[in-house]
Structure 1
Amino acid sequence: MQVFELHHLDYDEGYANGSTHSAVDGAFRNVQKNTTAFLIWRIENMTVIPLPKDQYGTFYTNDSYIIYAASQYGLPSGTDSVSREIRAGSLEYHIHFWLGSASTPDKSGVAAYKTVELDGHLGGIATQHRETQGNESARFKSYFKNGFRVLKGGTDSGFKSATKTFEIRLYKVKGRRTPIITQEESVSWNFFNSGDVFLVLTPKIIFVWIGRAANGVEKLHAAKAALVLKSENNIPNITFVDDGYEKTLNEDDKKEFNKYLPLEKRMVYPPDHSGDDGDKEKQFRSSIRLYRCSDNSGKYRVTEIKTGPIFQTDLNPEDVYILDNGSNGIWVWVGKKASDKERTESLRNARGFVKKKNYPNNTRVTRVVDGAEPMEFKVLFASWKDKDEAKGVGKTYTVGKVAKVAVAKFDAITMHERPALAAESQLVDDGTGDLKIWKIIKSNVVEVLKPKHGIFYSGDCYLILYTYEAPSQKNIIYYWLGSQSTPEDAGWTTLKVMEMNLELGGTAMQVRVVQGHEPPHFLQLFKGKMVIFRGKAAEYEELGKNSKGPSHYLLQICGSSTYTAKAVHVQCKASSLNSNYCYVLKKNKHYYIWCGSYSTGDQREMAKGFIGKDFNILMEGKETPEFWEDIGGQGTYTTAKNTDENGTVRPARLFQCSTASGEFKVEEIMNFTQTDLIPEDVMLLDAYNTIFIWLGNLSTKEERRLTLETAKNYLQNDPAGRDAHIPITEIKQGCEPPSFTGFFTNWSNSFWSTHKPFEEFRNEIEGTNTTINTKERIVYTEDSNFDQYIKYPINILTASSDKLPNKVDPLRKELHLTHDDFVSLFKMNYAEFENLPKWKQQEMKKKVGLF
C-alpha cells in the first residue's frame, strides 16, 4: 500500500487556489447554467478575454485558454454548437484549461484559478480538465471535428501583426481522427520524420511532404488542410513531395523547394511514435489504482486503497479519491459531503500527486464531482448505476401475450426501419430466417439435423449460418465455442468461418460466441429453447445418431424471454439449486419444474419450453419426497436474493484501432457519428455486452488480421474487469446490420459513395494547379517493399558494420537508401536494380561502399 504526503514543493508554481465564493469574473457573467453553450477565452495580460468565434480552433503555444462546453447529457458539443435554453433534461458541464507548450506559469496559473471560479459560478458541478499541448483528451478533440491548429507565438509575441507580411511556415499534420496542425519553430529538416505529413508554405507553392510511413488518413487530412491554407493565403499551387523522391520534382518546383529546405542537407528521422497514445493506453487500462485523500493530520495525505477492478461502492461521498491511470491520466473524484476547500483544491492536489509520482508534466488531470460524473469516468468502474437509471431492453419485455406482440415487431424490416431499437435490443430480426448448423470435429464439418437445432455441448464447437431478407439477403455466421472445447477445435472453427465467408462473397457478419455469453439474437434463433449439455455430443451417440442428450439431468433455466432464455446443464444435486431461478429435472420418465421463491412468472413460462407435456411444477419449500429422491437427496443451496439486477445502461464507445507498429493501439472518439467511420480504418465499437469490429474497405490486411486479437486485448485489459468472453462481431463496410447502425444517428447507406481516398484527392488537386507540372511517380510493388524500410543518409550506411543502426541489415544496406540517394549512387532505380543478377548487384554495391 502506497502513502504519499504532499508538501509545498509538490504543487505547481503560480497555481493559485480558486474559490467558489469569490466574485465571478465579468467574462463569465453571461454563462447561464440552464443553457447549452460552447465558449473559449484566452488569458491576456493575466485577464480572461473572450475569443471571437472565427478564432475557435486556433491556439498559440505561448498562451493558455479556457474552454467551456455545456450540452445535454450524452449529446455532442463543439464549435458548431448553438446556445439554447434547456427546460427539461439534465446538462453536463465541462471546463478545460489548455496550456500551450511555452505558456508561462503565471498564465497557466490564472487559467487554472479562473476554471475553479467559473465552476463555482455554475454551482461546483462541472468536470474540470487540465489539457496540455500535444496530449489533449478525446473529449477535447471531439469539439473540433475538422481539427485544430497550434501556431507558434501568442499574445506576448505580436502574432496579430505577423500576418501583414508573408511568413514561410512549416506545419506538421498529426492525428488519424482529429487532425492537429502544429506550426514548427522554423522551416528545417530537423523537424521531419518519415511517419508524418508536413506542409511547407511558400509565397508560390504549398508543398505537401508525405512521409513514406504516414497513414492514408493523415495524408488525406493534410491534403484538405493544404486546400484551406491555399485559400486563406492566396497561394497559387499545391505540390506533393514524396519522402525520398524530392529530386524527382520538376525543375521549377525543386528549385523553389530547395530554397527553404536544401536537399544537400536533407535529414529525415525514422517514424516518430512519441505522440502515439496507444502503448500508454494499454498501460493505464491494466494498472488502475484507487487512492483516498485526506488532510485530517494537517498534511495532505494520499493513501492507496486498492488496485482495479474498482466499483462505485468503493467511493464514499464524504471523501475525495484519486484514480491513477498512470501517465495517461489522473482522475480526482469529490464526494458530495466533502468540504468546500477539498472541492476547490482537488485539481491542485491531484497535480501535486502527479509530481510526487514523477509522471510526465503533460499528464492529463480531470476533476469530477459526485453525481455529475461524465461517461468516460464511469466506464473505468466494474459497475456503475445512476440514480433512477433506466433498465436494459431485456428487462422491458415479458413473455406471454405481451411477449408475442413485442417479438412479432422484431422482424427484419421493422428492425432496419428502427435501428435504435435493434441497437438497444441487439436483435437483427425475430429469428425466422433460414438456419443451418454444423459441428466441428477437428478438420471435419458435420451438419446438425434440424431436430437437434438448439442442442449444444460444452465440449464441442459449432458453426451456424443464418440467412434472412432485409430487404436484400443478409448472412450472419455465428461460431459457438464450448467452454470445454479444445484449442484445436476452436482453431479449426475459426478457419471454417473464414472459408464460409469467402464463399459468401466476404460480406457476412461474423460473430464469435463463447459459451455463457450468447447474444440476444443468437438465443432468438432457438426461440428461447437453447440447451447446453456438459461434455461432448459423441458421449451420447446411439447407433451413429446423436441422442437428445443424457437421460438423467438437471437444467438451470436462465432468462425470461425468447431472446434471453437458455437451459444450462448443471450437476444433478440439491446444491446446484438457487432460489433466483427455475430448474428442469428429468429422471427416467419423471419431469419436474422447480421454481425458486424469487423466480418470476416469466421464467416459469420459459422453463415449460424445455419439457414435455407431463410434468410437475414444484414451488420452493413445497417439494415432494420423490423430487428429493430423484435429485439425490436434500441439501443446502443458495437462498439469498440476487441483488445484481444487471440493469446498468452503458453508452456505446467508439475506438479507432491501429496496428501500424505491430502492437495494439487505440484512440477513443467521443461524440462519434458515421463520419468517424473512415474506409481506411478499422474501428471498434464497444456496446458493453457486445464488441463490434468494423472493417473499412481500405483498411490494411495487417489491421484486419489482428482485429480479433485487438478486441480480445481490449476486453482483457478493461479496467472495469469485464468478462473477456462477451460476443465479438466482425462487420464489413457496407454490410452493417441495424444492431450496429442504431448506435449512429441519421445513418445513411450511401454515405461512402462520395468518399475519395488520398490518391484520388491528390490527383484532383494536382490537376487544379494554375501551372501544371507533371512528373512520373515510381510506385514499387508489394514484393519489393522498398519504401517500407527505414531510410538513412549515405554516410551512415557506408560506415563500418559495427556502427550501423540496429534495424539495418548489413547484407542489404541498399534497401535503406532513399530513392534519390539510390539513383545517385547506382544510376538506376531500385526496380531496375532488383532485376539484375545477384552477382551484378554485389559488384555494384562494392563499388559504392555498400557491401
Structure 2
Amino acid sequence: MSIPEIWCIENLRLVRVPKSSHGKFYTGNAYIVLNTVLPKIGPAQHDVHYWLGNDAKEVDSALASDKALELDAALGSCTVQYRELQGLETEKFLSYFRPCVIPVEGVYSSLEGHLNGETYKVNMLTCKGDHVVHIKEVPFSRSSLNHDDVFILDTASKIFLFSGCNSSIQERAKALDVVQYIKENRHGGKCDVATIEDGKFVGDSDVGEFWSLFGGFAPIPRDSPSSFQKKSYNPAVKLFWITMEGKLCQTGTHSLTKKMLEADKCYLLDCGTEIFVWMGRKSSVSERKISISAAEDFLRSQDRSTGTHLTFLTEGLESAIFRSYFDNWPQKVEAKLYEEGRGKVAAIFKQQGYDVKEIPEEDCNTFINCRGTLKVWRVNGDELSILPVLEQTKLFSGDCYIVQFTYAGDDRDENLFYAWLGRRSVNEDRKAAISHMNAAVDSMKGDPVLAQVVEDKEPDQFFLIFQTLIIFKGGMSKGYKQFIAEKGIGDETYHEKKTALFRVQGTSPSNMQAIQVDAVSLIKLICLIVTHLTLLFERCNLSSSTKTFLSLML
C-alpha cells in the first residue's frame, strides 16, 4: 500500500504534514488524507479522506470537506471521498497507519517539532477490531477494565498490557504492535513493558505494580459492558435527490434501480449505519459542495448516531456495497470494438474447421490484491513470536511459520493464513503450526482462507505476497535444536559471519526468492563448467597457442 499524503487545516489554510508526523492526529484539527495506489495495469486509484478531531472548529471542518472536494476535482473527479470522525474511522483509513492511530490532545502547529507539556500524561487505551486496530482512550479507572478486551496503560516509565481472559489471540497480537509503537514514538524506545494476564496472580512484581496504580486489586465484574458496543439502527433504505438549495426530495425506497440516478444531479442514499452521496459526472463542483453540506445537515437533523459513516462517490466509481442496494445494477459492458474484433477472429477459426469455445469468466484464475499487510510469526513449540517487519521475509528451512496477509476486498478487508512448514522442520513444530493457525482463525470474524504449504511446494500467490523472500538453512526453534543435538548433526543454521551461497530465482521482480544452498555446489558447478569448456576447446579448430592460452586461463 502506498504512503498517503496528509494536509492539516491550520489558520484556515492547508499545511502539508511531514512524513515523520504521519499517524499523529491532533484532536483540535481537521485533516485531509490522499492515498494513491499505482496498480501494475490501469490508471492510478485515489481515495480522499477528511478527518475531523473531536475538538476541531466547525469552520475548519467545513473547510476540510470543501478542500477534499476541490482535490477530487483537480484529480479529474475520480476519487472516492470519506468523512472520518475521531474514534470512528473506517477500516480503510486505519489501514494506512499501521499499527494504529492514536489521537493527540491539542492543536497541530507546523512550527513545533515536539509535543508540548512538561509532565507526561498517563493514559489508558483499549484495542479492538477484526481487521485493523481501533484505539480508544478510556478513563484511567478500574471500572474501565473488563474481561473481553485488551487494555494498554501508558505511564512515564512503563507500559502495561492487560489482556482480558475472554480476549482473542488476534487482539492480543495487535495490542503488542501498539505497545511497540507507543514505546518507539512516545518513549524514544526507552521504557519497560509488562504483560498482565487477567485472573493470574503469581506474585509477580509487575502484577502488583499494575494493580497498585488502581489502589490495589479488586475483582472485575463479569457483566462489564464493552465500550465498543454499538447501537443497531437499520431503517428502510431511502434515496433522496439533493436540490440546488440543499433540500432533500425522496425519490425511492427499497426497490431502487440505476435509472433513478441522473448524471447532472446529486443523490443521498440513506442506509442507516452508512450514508452515501452519489455525484453525477455532469454535476458541478458547487452542486457537490451543496450536497456535502446537505448530507451533514441531514445527519444532525436526524440525530443520527455519530458512528454513521458518510461516503461520497462519483458516477462510475460506485463501491460494491453501494451497488448492492440497487436491483440488477448493470455490469460493465465491454467495448463494442472489442466485441466485433473477437467475433471476427472466432469466425476465421470456424472457417478453418476449429470449434471455438469461450472460457467462462468464473473459470479464470485471478490473484488477490497483493497490496496488503503482512504479518509473520515463528513457531517455537507452544509459543509464537511475531517477526519484526524487516525480518518477516527471512524464513529458516528448519522452522515453521504462521503467515497472515490482510488485503482490501470488495467491501471489507479479507484475511489469508498460511502455515509454512520448513523442509527440515520437526513434526512437533509442524503440528503446533497448524494448531496455532486454526486457533487464530477461530478467534476472527468473517471467513478467512487458510492453507498449509511445505517448502519447495509453495503456490505462486505465496511468493507474490512476500515479493522478496529469503530462505536460510537451519532453524531457530527449540525443537530443531534438540533434533540435531540428538542426531549428532552439525548445526548449519545461517550466520552472517559465515560464507553462504544463495540460489536466486523468480519470474519477475515481484516474486524473487533467494534460497541458501550448500557451498560445495559452487565448486561442483565450476568444475562442471571447466570440463565442458575443455571439451569444447578440443572440438573447436583452434591453434595450439590459443588452446594453451585458454587452458592457462581456466
Query: TM-score under structure 1 normalisation?
Result: 0.41
* Superposed displacement of residue 172, structure 1: 1.9
**Contact 2:242 2:291 survives alignment (8 Å):** no
**1:288 is matched with which residue?**
237
CA offset digits 1:242-290 (Å, max 9, x no partner): 2233x5342x32443244222256656746455367x85xx65x95332
Is 2:423 aligned against 1:423?
Answer: no
* Superposed displacement of residue 131, structure 1: 0.9
Separation in 2 of the partners of 1:745 and 1:359?
A: 46
Separation in 2 of the partners of 1:110 and 1:322?
A: 21
**1:237 is matched with which residue?**
192
- 5 Å matches for 1:91-110? 91-110=44-63
* Superposed displacement of residue 745, structure 1: 8.0
Aligned residue among 308, 314, 318 for 1:369: 314
**2:81 is matched with which residue?**
128
**2:257 is matched with which residue?**
311
**1:301 is matched with which residue?**
248
- 5 Å matches for 1:239-258? 239-245=194-200, 247-250=201-204, 252-258=205-211
CA spacing shift, 1:249–1:108, aligned 2, 3 Å: farther
CA offset digits 1:373-394 (Å, max 9, x no partner): 45554455442434647999xx
- 5 Å matches for 1:696-715? 697-699=437-439
**1:722 is matched with which residue?**
none
**Contact 1:172 1:198 survives alignment (8 Å):** yes
Is 2:303 aligned against 1:358?
Answer: yes
Separation in 2 of the partners of 1:71 and 1:121?
A: 17
Separation in 1 of the partners of 2:224 and 2:183?
A: 27
**1:778 is matched with which residue?**
none
Amino acid at match of 2:261: L
Separation in 1 of the partners of 2:279 and 2:319?
A: 13
* Superposed displacement of residue 313, structure 1: 2.9
**1:677 is matched with which residue?**
416
**Contact 2:27 2:54 survives alignment (8 Å):** yes
* Superposed displacement of residue 51, structure 1: 1.0
* Superposed displacement of residue 330, structure 1: 0.7
SS at match of 2:438: coil
CA spacing shift, 1:406–1:749, aligned 2, 3 Å: farther
Separation in 2 of the partners of 1:701 and 1:120?
A: 42
SS at match of 2:152: strand
Separation in 2 of the partners of 1:403 and 1:167?
A: 75
- 5 Å matches for 1:640-789? 654=409, 668-669=412-413, 676-678=415-417, 697-699=437-439, 732-734=450-452, 746-747=464-465
CA offset digits 1:75-103 (Å, max 9, x no partner): 59xxxxxxxxxxx8433332211112232
Amino acid at match of 2:283: A
Aligned residue among 127, 133, 140 for 1:173: 127
Separation in 2 of the partners of 1:362 and 1:380?
A: 20
**Contact 1:37 1:69 survives alignment (8 Å):** yes
**1:793 is matched with which residue?**
none
* Superposed displacement of residue 220, structure 1: 0.5
* Superposed displacement of residue 195, structure 1: 2.0
SS at match of 1:150: coil
Amino acid at match of 1:97: Y
CA spacing shift, 1:55–1:700, aligned 2, 3 Å: closer
* Superposed displacement of residue 294, structure 1: 2.8
Separation in 2 of the partners of 1:153 and 1:266?
A: 35
CA spacing shift, 1:679–1:248, aligned 2, 3 Å: farther
CA offset digits 1:563-587 (Å, max 9, x no partner): xxxxxxxxxxxxxxxxxxxxxxxxx
Separation in 2 of the partners of 1:60 and 1:321?
A: 32
Amino acid at match of 1:352: D
Separation in 2 of the partners of 1:321 and 1:141?
A: 27
Separation in 1 of the partners of 2:417 and 2:44?
A: 30
**Contact 1:679 1:699 survives alignment (8 Å):** no
SS at match of 1:66: strand
**Contact 1:206 1:235 survives alignment (8 Å):** no
* Superposed displacement of residue 181, structure 1: 3.5
CA offset digits 1:665-685 (Å, max 9, x no partner): xx821xx6xxx42579xxxxx
* Superposed displacement of residue 303, structure 1: 0.9
**Contact 2:69 2:285 survives alignment (8 Å):** no
CA spacing shift, 1:263–1:62, aligned 2, 3 Å: farther
CA offset digits 1:793-815 (Å, max 9, x no partner): xxxxxxxxxxxxxxxxxxxxxxx
**1:500 is matched with which residue?**
none
**Contact 2:196 2:206 survives alignment (8 Å):** no
Aligned residue among 59, 68, 86 for 1:115: 68
* Superposed displacement of residue 731, structure 1: 6.0
CA spacing shift, 1:104–1:122, aligned 2, 3 Å: same
Larger radius of gyration: 1
Amino acid at match of 2:240: Y
Amino acid at match of 1:364: H
CA spacing shift, 1:744–1:340, aligned 2, 3 Å: farther
SS at match of 2:437: coil
Separation in 2 of the partners of 1:304 and 1:271?
A: 44
How many equivalent residue pairs? Answer: 402
* Superposed displacement of residue 212, structure 1: 1.8
CA offset digits 1:818-846 (Å, max 9, x no partner): xxxxxxxxxxxxxxxxxxxxxxxxxxxxx
Separation in 2 of the partners of 1:55 and 1:271?
A: 36
Q: Please list every run of 5 or more consecutive structure 2 residues that lacks an aligned counterpart in the other structure.
A: 368-406, 420-434, 473-477, 479-554
Is 2:294 aligned against 1:341?
Answer: no
Is 2:92 aligned against 1:139?
Answer: yes
Query: TM-score under structure 2 normalisation?
Result: 0.60
Amino acid at match of 1:315: L
SS at match of 2:4: strand
* Superposed displacement of residue 53, structure 1: 0.5
* Superposed displacement of residue 370, structure 1: 1.9
Amino acid at match of 2:144: F
**Contact 2:147 2:220 survives alignment (8 Å):** no
**1:196 is matched with which residue?**
149
Amino acid at match of 2:438: L
* Superposed displacement of residue 39, structure 1: 0.6
Separation in 1 of the partners of 2:330 and 2:229?
A: 30
Aligned residue among 268, 284, 298 for 1:322: 268
* Superposed displacement of residue 44, structure 1: 2.6
* Superposed displacement of residue 166, structure 1: 3.8
Amino acid at match of 2:282: K
Q: Please list every run of 5 or more consecutive structure 1 residues that lacks an aligned counterpart in the other structure.
A: 1-35, 77-87, 411-418, 425-651, 656-666, 681-694, 712-729, 755-759, 761-851
Amino acid at match of 1:59: F
CA offset digits 1:498-520 (Å, max 9, x no partner): xxxxxxxxxxxxxxxxxxxxxxx
**Contact 1:150 1:180 survives alignment (8 Å):** no
CA spacing shift, 1:182–1:364, aligned 2, 3 Å: same
Separation in 1 of the partners of 2:25 and 2:363?
A: 38
CA spacing shift, 1:742–1:342, aligned 2, 3 Å: farther
Q: Point out which structure has higher relative CO (alpha carbons under 8 A, 6+ apart).
A: 1
**Contact 2:88 2:307 survives alignment (8 Å):** yes
Amino acid at match of 2:308: T
CA offset digits 1:82-136 (Å, max 9, x no partner): xxxxxx8433332211112232323322322322333343344433211112222
Separation in 2 of the partners of 1:701 and 1:215?
A: 10
Cα RMSD for the two superposed structures: 4.7
**1:90 is matched with which residue?**
43
CA offset digits 1:508-550 (Å, max 9, x no partner): xxxxxxxxxxxxxxxxxxxxxxxxxxxxxxxxxxxxxxxxxxx
- 5 Å matches for 1:204-603? 204-232=157-185, 233=187, 234-245=189-200, 247-250=201-204, 252-264=205-217, 270=223, 272-273=225-226, 275=228, 287-295=236-244, 300-308=247-255, 310-326=256-272, 328-374=273-319, 377-381=322-326, 382-386=328-332, 388=334, 421-423=364-366
SS at match of 2:45: strand
Percent identity between matched residues is 21
Amino acid at match of 2:209: E
Separation in 2 of the partners of 1:750 and 1:47?
A: 42
Separation in 1 of the partners of 2:16 and 2:162?
A: 36
Separation in 2 of the partners of 1:653 and 1:257?
A: 38
**2:105 is matched with which residue?**
152
* Superposed displacement of residue 369, structure 1: 1.8
